[in-house]
Amino acid sequence: MFHRFLTSFQIPFTQQSPSPEQKPIALRKQAICLLLIISFFVNQAFSQPIQNDEMEDLAAFANEYDLEMNFWEVTMKEQMDSQRAEEIVQGLQETHISHEEKDENRIKHTFESRHKKDTFDVLYKVILPIDKRESAEVIIVMHGTDWDNHISQKYREEKTNILRNYLTKESHLYTCLSVQDSGIMNHDVFINKAKTYFNIKHISTNYDNIKNSTIKKSTYGYTKTWKQFYYMEDDPKNVQIAAVADRHGKMNYMIGTPILINEY
């Protein structure tokens, strides 16, 4: 591409040396072409989508608008060979508090950290099939109620550790941030803030008429900021924003990527 770009401007790198009268004109042409090339690649760099960590992006969004955080949650899921999942169970049993549930089809192992003073919680779930020919599933959830530079660093370290020791880059990642209603922010105001910050496109909104559902209104959209996406009615989606009523009827707002996987 770079070669085609250069040759399209016919820069006289291989042409005969210009005469003294032509030198000022030739130099100006070369300078203009060089500026165009620099401008082209600068624009390309700034037009590329930001490929940051989803949770860190959501936390930066909350900080930008001074939103009070209820909680944040990152869920990582992956299906894998039963033997590999059993090895993970054996390793976690040595370092974590464990709980086991069993039925006729599967054994569900749950592990919690022994360190109660951690900056956030990490929960491990390993679901082993009774039939070893079937795939096992590993689910790892990081959950917290605060976010600052120290927590951000610990989060990055924990995520790196998870990908190194338990999961792979083929795992599916779901991120959720819940913030409180400030009293002057309604659903549309929150949507506009998120839409502007993440440059969200392909927006659609659904109202939940299910009885006793806590999610009253959901808005879906797509941003180039993150790689994961799915299709909904032929449009790409990777952001869900929901207005959620707590048990006291107060509205909170949740933003998840690529989708909210739980109803809170």
Same domain for 188 and 226? yes
In a domain, 101, yes or no: no
Contact (Cβ atoms closer than 8 angstroms) between residue 255 and residue 225: no
Q: Do 17 and 72 share a domain, yes or no? A: no
What's the structural domain count of the chain?
A: 2
Specify if 117 maps to a domain: no
Please, where are the H alpha helices in 18-176? 23-47, 54-64, 82-93, 149-165
Q: Do 14 and 61 belong together in one domain? A: no
30 shares its domain with 154: no
**Mean pLDDT across the chain:** 81
- Domain membership of residue 108 (yes or no) is no
Residue pair 241/255 in contact by the 8 Å Cβ criterion: yes
Residue 74 tokens, joined: 């990152």
Interior/surface letters 217-227, b for 16+ CB within 10 angstroms, e for the rest: bbbbbbbbbbe
pLDDT in tens, 183-225: 667 888 899 999 999 999 999 988 765 555 567 788 999 999 9
Domain shared by 236 and 194, yes or no: yes
Radius of gyration for the alpha carbons in the chain, expressed in angstroms and rounded: 26
Q: Has residue 208 been placed in a domain?
A: yes
Range of the domain at 222: 54-78+140-257
Q: Strand, helix or coil at 10?
A: coil
- Asked if residue 38 and residue 147 are part of one domain, the reply reads no
Q: Do both 165 and 226 map to the same domain?
A: yes
Q: Do 179 and 196 reside in the same domain of the chain? A: yes
What's the average model confidence in pLDDT over 102-125? 88
Helix (H, G, I), strand (E, B) or coil at 187: helix
* Helix, strand, or coil (residue 27): helix
- 10 and 59 in a single domain? The answer is no
- Residue 97 counted as domain residue: no
For residues 237 and 253, state if they share a domain. Answer: yes
Read off the pTM: 0.76
Domain assignment present for residue 161? The answer is: yes
Domain check: are 63 and 169 in the same one?
Answer: yes
Model confidence over 154-169: pLDDT tens digits? 999 999 999 999 998 8
* 3-state DSSP assignment of residue 257: strand
